[in-house]
Amino acid sequence: MSRDLNDSPSSDLPPDVRPGSSRRHFLSRLAAISAGLTVAAPLSHSTTTAEGTALEGESPKQGTDGGLVEINFKVNGLPHKLEVDPRVTLLDAIRDRLDLTGTKKGCDRGACGACTIHINGRRVLSCLTLALMAQGEEITTIEGLAEGNELHPVQAAFIGCDGFQCGYCTPGQIMSAVGCINEGHTRSDTEIQEFMSGNLCRCGAYPNIVDAIKMAAGQMKRGG
């Protein structure tokens, strides 16, 4: 059925847990689409704004026939099914469709790191990833880092070391820091700075961010 892109995010929940709705199932369907009829995107223009929704003003009237594509992925352990315009970035899908607004839109051009998330455990930029490209993947956002009420060691260390001021870059900094630690790039302050250079902080909290990463890296090594 056709679905308006501006449906409230809750219309996508509860997540689709239909048996058989697997990655393979989806891929075979997409392959069928690819082989035969091609997915056409609607003609309207994107109206992305800094903090606004990319979807406003571009609701395709054609619904599924007008080019919406169905995608399935897991976010913070929960499976989701979405129908999206092929142009929708993973960042906009996460924020506007799943209502997970912890992931921030900064530059929207891959320059600032505010939108950093993990796909299959690797830190990437959600603003330069089409939602379509995340088909079948396991995504972790800042909301999925803590275990219940227990903060992830990196989150706790950012608080402990005062690793932020305004906080806007912080979710991206933390997601990137977790990646930096898991990759083993915390052997010196210089190495941390180099491997965190994709995350800009206009408040200039860098020294405290480096401290937080060192603290968390030590804890994660000890605690496993």
Partner 1 sequence: MQTFTYKIPFSIQQATADFGQNSDFLAGGTTLIDLMKLEVMTPSQLVDINRLPMRGIELASDGLRIGALEKMSDVAEHPEVVANYPVISQALLKSASAQLRNMASMGGNLLQRTRCGYFRDVSTPCNKRQPGSGCPAIDGWNRTHAILGTSSSCVATHPSDLAVALVALDASILLQSGNNDRLVKLDDFYRVPGETPDKENQLKPGELITEIRVPRLPWARRSAYRKIRDRESYEFALASVAVALDVDANNVRDARVAVGGVGTKPWNLPKVREALIGRPSNQQTFEAAAKLAAEGAKPLRHNAFKVELVQRTIVRALMNLGGLA
- Closest to partner 1 by CB, 66 vs 160, is 66
Residue 186 is classified by DSSP as -
Rule CB under 8 A: which of 26-45 touch partner 1? Answer: 27, 30-31, 34, 38-45
Tell me if 130 contacts partner 1 by CB under 8 A. yes
Least distance CB 126 / partner 1 (angstroms): 10
**Among the candidate windows 72-80, 140-148, 154-162, 191-199, which touches partner 1 by CB under 8 A?**
191-199
**Rounded distance between C-alpha atoms, residue 163 and residue 213, angstroms:** 9
CA distance 223 to 199: 26
Q: Is 29 helix (H, G, I), strand (E, B) or coil?
A: helix
Residue in 94, 98, 124, 212 binding partner 1, rule: CB under 8 A: 124
User: DSSP 3-state assignment of 81?
Assistant: strand
**176 near partner 1 (CB under 8 A):** yes
Q: Does 83 bind partner 1 (CB under 8 A)?
A: no
Handedness of CA 200, 187, 191, 210 (dihedral sign): positive
Among 18, 197, 202, 207, binds partner 1 (CB under 8 A): 197
Q: In the complex with partner 1, which residue's Cβ is closer, 63 or 160? A: 63
Residue 142 C-alpha from the chain's centroid = 9
Is position 177 an interface residue for partner 1 (rule: CB under 8 A)?
no
Q: How many beta carbons lie within 10 A of that of residue 148, not counting itself? A: 5
Of 67 and 153, CB closest to partner 1: 67
Neighbours of 133 (CB within 10 A): 14
Least spacing, CB of residue 207 vs partner 1, in Å:
16
Q: Which of 44, 63, 66, 70 is nearest to 55 (CA)?
A: 44
Shortest approach of partner 1 to residue 148 CB, angstroms?
28
Residue 185 is a binding residue for partner 1 (CB under 8 A): yes
Interface residue with partner 1 among 63, 160, 198, 218 (CB under 8 A) is 198
Question: Mutual orientation of helices 153-160 and 206-223 as an angle, nearest 10°?
Answer: 140
First vs last Cα of the chain: how many Å apart?
47
- CA dist 150 and 93 (Å) reads 27
Q: Which residues bind partner 1 (CB under 8 A)?
A: 27, 30-31, 34, 38-46, 48, 67, 69, 86-87, 89, 108-110, 113, 116, 122-125, 128-130, 132-133, 176, 179-180, 183, 185, 193-199
